[in-house]
Amino acid sequence: MNNNIVIQVDKLTKEFGDFTAVNAISFEVSRGEIFGFLGANGAGKTTAMKMLIGISKPSSGEAQVAGYSVRTQAEVIKKNIGYMSQKFALYDDLTVRENIAFFGGIYGLSKEGIREKADRLIEELGLGAVSKSLVGSLPLGWKQKLAFSVSMLHDPKIVFLDEPTGGVDPITRRQFWEMIYKAANNGTTIFVTTHYMDEAEYCDRVSIMVEGKIEALDTPKRLKEQFKADSMNAVFLKLARNIE
């Protein structure tokens, strides 16, 4: 694998009985890239992502993530990636600091490493005043930022974000994206699904899945040219309509 390619997907397919949820998708993602993974509800995004993070075996095809095969090296992949699900995995009944300590422990960080990371994170996120508050009492946007930071406690090469900003206002979503940019600038690769088309504009490249297949993949600028559309929202709608 080219050193700069951190995700390489080759005809990856997932079948459930005689239904093909992910149909021979192929693409590559480079180091430090923000890769948007779009599609309507049920298009197959989560199913594809589950194969890439090593928790679901492909029916056929192959993918290398951080240089490891999703077929044969799924356990190593998990150590090299971060994952934030739609419902993010923080514990509402633990404090901010306790959540960081808990997940730091799972990721195998030392006690001292956890303390250092916790101090830095709380400072960076401006959570000093609420570090001893239960996470359940925080606004959703704060929880999402904390969950993103927690998913990167072990400095993974790639972070998979499954609709990380659902349900918050545009300003809060914009702040979340500032964090994404910062991580990408530091060399972390970001693989992100979203339903918000303004967020699609923030990605370096965007793929659009329709019924299990990738129907378009390029930079937002080139997709807009290709589909003669003035926004990613218009691209998305045109693509969905053409397929119908």
Ligand X SMILES: Nc1ncnc2c1ncn2[C@@H]1O[C@H](COP(=O)(O)OP(=O)(O)OP(=O)(O)O)[C@@H](O)[C@H]1O
x-or-dash string of contact with ligand X, 57-96, rule CB under 6 A: ----------------------------------------
Helix (H, G, I), strand (E, B) or coil at 29: strand
- Determine, following the binding rule CB under 6 A, whether residue 42 of this chain makes contact with ligand X: yes
**Given its phi and psi angles, is residue 20 left (phi above 0), alpha (psi -120 to 50 degrees) or beta?**
beta
Cβ-contact 33, 191 below 8 angstroms: no
In the complex with ligand X, which residue's Cβ is closer, 122 or 208? 208
Integer CA distances (angstroms), 61 to 2, 8, 184, in order: 19, 11, 28
- Determine, following the binding rule CB under 6 A, whether residue 185 of this chain makes contact with ligand X: no
* Binding-site member from 6, 12, 21, 135 for ligand X (CB under 6 A): 21
In the complex with ligand X, which residue's Cβ is closer, 21 or 130? 21
In the complex with ligand X, which residue's Cβ is closer, 22 or 100? 22
In the complex with ligand X, which residue's Cβ is closer, 98 or 211? 211
Q: Of the candidates 166, 163, 221, 145, which has an alpha carbon nearest to the alpha carbon of residue 45?
A: 163
* Binding-site member from 3, 41, 72, 185 for ligand X (CB under 6 A): 41
Q: Which H or E element spans position 21? A: strand 19-30
CB of 193 to ligand X, least distance (A): 7
In the complex with ligand X, which residue's Cβ is closer, 135 or 214? 214
Q: Quick count: other Cβ atoms within 10 Å of Cβ 123?
A: 11
Q: Which H or E element spans position 191? A: strand 189-193
Q: Which residues bind ligand X (CB under 6 A)?
A: 16, 21, 39, 41-47
